[in-house]
Amino acid sequence: MKTLDEYMKLPYRMEIIPDTEEGGYVVSFPELPGCLTCADTLKQAAVNGEEAKREWLIAAMEDGIEIPEPVSLDDYSGQFKLRIPKSLHHALAAHAKEEGISMNQYCVYLLTKNDTLSHA
């Protein structure tokens, strides 16, 4: 198990989102479930976020809760294999050809477009 200082130095992703109902900002750490705080300014949000992370880590260590490591993009190759029906393969290839791009580029476009819509 790491020390508190070692955990504090890890690059956990901090999300700061405007609170449109109450004003100010909500701060959370997606990799640390339930770790959140709020603040009136962006500067204070960063300070409060670090303090909330510290307190969350202390509580987790005291309670023997497993502390997840930060997610790293280095853990992902950017490639995966996907099996699809032949008819879909044909349709994707045809649409890619119409657009004048590779099927791989076309599929990345479709995935990105759909992912963006689902998070809007």
Q: Which residue has the tokens 């640390």?
A: 32
| Residue 39: strand pairing partners | 25
Q: Are residues 32 and 56 in the same domain?
A: yes
Strand partners, 36: 28
Q: What is the CATH number of the domain that holds 22?
A: 3.30.160.250
Residues 8 and 59 in one domain: yes
Quote the pTM value: 0.64
Taking only the tens place, the pLDDT of each residue in 36-86 is 999 999 999 999 999 999 999 999 999 999 999 998 877 788 888 889 999
10 lies in the same domain as 57? yes
Q: What is the rounded CA–CA span in Å between residue 86 and residue 60?
A: 49
Question: Which structural domain range is residue 15 located in?
Answer: 4-63
